[in-house]
């Protein structure tokens, strides 16, 4: 009888601790505990490495797999250097699928630990969950105690989803804190080797890859890619977003203002993207908040698009190199027009020289 | 309070908590329930 009583008591306590874990677990965990759960959930460990042990950089690219596959940093640096004669330090932090909530939480932690002159957020191009769920990786980066107001202001269906997902992952995070990092795989190393990008030398839809280099120099300027018109309330860059996602947009905006960091949203091309439905600079967001869109025509002219994509929405190495070159030119143009100044690369070089 | 009464209360609390857990996990997203699918796409 007595042992049954204690078994019930212990079961109650364990279950209560489990169900309330989002409120207390982070008192026992480092923010970077996510490094311990990398193997089954993509490259969050690498993101954590960049976020918690990173460095000051010029431009941070943050977004989904379109971004991870679509920016060749070496080409970007060459494009920028060709226009300015200077170096630029850039980095990609990308996750599978779009999610403004995850972008916010990663940015918050990144800016707490590092500085960047410009954040380039990949504009959501599609919404695989119809906007009904937080990003599946948000549970690793979200901490109620760090953003209590944001948490309680979210619609209850969303905050409950966030809460439930963190309850589910709490035992794994605790185990990770005890066991430590569970090892890295080949994919992690590949991504780490290219500043967070993952370029694929694959032909479209399984076709043989044909290395293609567009000989014409990319001449795009800010004015060519800047979208201008007015932003409908329910849409971001023509993509419908939910009210709660908009709350995260405002949170991103406040965060960047506090850190005096500028932001642009970039809409990546996809194979059928014709560049219509222009969207706008938006006075709702006081931080520097411009929307850029790179169209297939601007990037690849009249070349066969299948040379530049490995599937319908992801650029391959050919496309990423061209995008990088063009983006480098646009960043140089932003600087020449006095919109922004990049200095992290030269600061780093200076520090290395002094050492 | 008798031991028997306390045991009943604990049992009821346990069932309530189990009920809460079942309801809570209805909110978990389909992709979170299958992280291997995420990794597979990566």
| Residue whose C-alpha is closest to residue A44's, from A138, A145, A167 | A138
Supply the ipTM of this predicted assembly. 0.84
For residue B29, give the nearest of A19, A43, A136 by CB distance.
A136
* A150 inside domain: no
Q: What are the CA-CA distances from residue A58 to residues A71, A77, A175, A194, A255 (Å)?
A: 15, 11, 36, 16, 17
Q: Are A22 and A168 in contact (CB under 8 A)?
A: no
Q: Which of A17-26, A57-66, A187-196 has the weakest average pLDDT?
A: A187-196
- Interface contact flag, B31 A157, Cβ < 8 Å: no
Contact between A212 and A314 (Cβ < 8 Å): no
Chain B residues lying within 8 Å of A7, measured CB to CB: none
Judge whether A149 lies within some domain: no
Residue in chain A nearest B30 by alpha carbon:
A136
In this structure, are residues A323 and A267 in contact, taking their beta carbons and an 8 Å threshold? Answer: no
The chain-wide mean pLDDT, for chain B, equals 80
| Domain-located, residue A46 | yes
Q: Which residues of A touch B34 (CB under 8 A)?
A: none
CATH of the domain at A70: 3.40.50
User: Do residue B29 and residue A129 have CB atoms under 8 angstroms apart?
Assistant: yes
Residue of B7, B27, B38 with shortest CB distance to A42: B38
* Residues A236 and A265: beta-carbon distance below 8 Å: yes
Quick check: A165 and B28 CB within 8 A? yes
Domain that holds residue A191: 42-133+181-354
Q: Is residue A126 part of a domain?
A: yes
Is A23 part of a structural domain of the chain?
A: no
pLDDT tens digits, residue range A232-270?
455 565 566 778 888 898 899 899 989 989 888 888 877
- B1 Cα to chain A: minimum distance (Å): 14
Q: How many domains does chain A have?
A: 1
Could you tell me which of A160, A153, A152 has the C-alpha nearest to residue A133? Answer: A160
Task: Write the pLDDT tens digit of every residue in A14-53.
Answer: 999 999 999 999 988 888 777 766 555 566 778 888 898 8
Any domain includes A263: yes
Residue A121 is classified by DSSP as E
Contact residues for A83 (Cβ-Cβ < 8 A; gap 6+): A328, A329, A332, A333, A336
Q: Is residue A83 domain-resident?
A: yes
Q: Is A12 within 8 Å of B6 when comparing Cβ atoms? A: no
From the number of C-beta atoms within 10 Å of its C-beta (0-12, 13-18, 19+), residue A96 rates as: buried
A307 part of a folded domain: yes
């Amino acid at each position: 009888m007595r042992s049954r009583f204690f078994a019930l008591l212990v079961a109650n306590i364990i279950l209560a601790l489990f169900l309330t874990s989002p409120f207390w677990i982070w008192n026992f965990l480092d923010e970077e505990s996510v490094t311990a759960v990398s193997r089954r959930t993509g490259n969050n460990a690498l993101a954590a490495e960049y976020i918690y042990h990173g460095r000051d950089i010029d431009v941070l690219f943050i977004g989904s797999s379109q971004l991870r596959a679509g920016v060749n940093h070496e080409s970007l640096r060459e494009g920028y250097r060709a226009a300015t004669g200077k170096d630029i330090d850039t980095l990609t932090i990308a996750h599978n699928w779009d999610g403004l909530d995850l972008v916010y939480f990663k940015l918050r932690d990144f800016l707490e630990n590092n500085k960047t002159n410009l954040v380039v957020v990949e504009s959501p191009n599609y919404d695989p969950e119809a906007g009904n769920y937080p990003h599946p990786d948000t549970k690793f980066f979200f901490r109620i105690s760090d953003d209590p107001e944001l948490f309680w202001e979210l619609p209850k269906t969303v905050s409950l989803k966030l809460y439930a997902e963190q309850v589910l992952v709490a035992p794994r995070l605790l185990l990770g804190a005890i066991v430590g990092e569970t090892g890295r795989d080949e994919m992690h190393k590949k991504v780490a080797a290219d500043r967070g990008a993952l370029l694929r030398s694959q032909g479209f839809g399984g076709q043989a890859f044909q290395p293609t280099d567009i000989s014409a120099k990319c001449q795009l300027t800010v004015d060519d890619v800047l979208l201008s018109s007015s932003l409908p309330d329910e849409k971001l860059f023509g993509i419908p977003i939910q009210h709660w996602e908009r709350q995260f947009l405002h949170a991103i905006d406040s965060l960047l203002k506090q850190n005096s960091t500028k932001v642009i949203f970039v809409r990546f091309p996809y194979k059928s993207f014709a560049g219509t439905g222009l969207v706008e600079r938006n006075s709702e967001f006081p931080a520097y908040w411009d929307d850029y869109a790179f169209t297939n025509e601007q990037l690849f002219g009249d070349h066969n698009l299948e040379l530049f994509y490995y599937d319908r929405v992801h650029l391959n190495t050919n496309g990423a190199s061209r995008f990088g070159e063009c983006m480098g030119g646009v960043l140089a143009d932003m600087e020449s027009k006095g919109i922004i100044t990049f200095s992290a690369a030269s600061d780093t070089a200076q520090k290395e020289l002094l050492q | 309070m008798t031991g028997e009464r306390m045991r009943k209360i604990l049992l009821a609390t346990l069932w309530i908590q189990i009920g809460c857990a079942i309801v809570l996990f209805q909110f978990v997203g389909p992709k979170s329930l299958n992280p291997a699918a995420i990794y597979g796409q990566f």
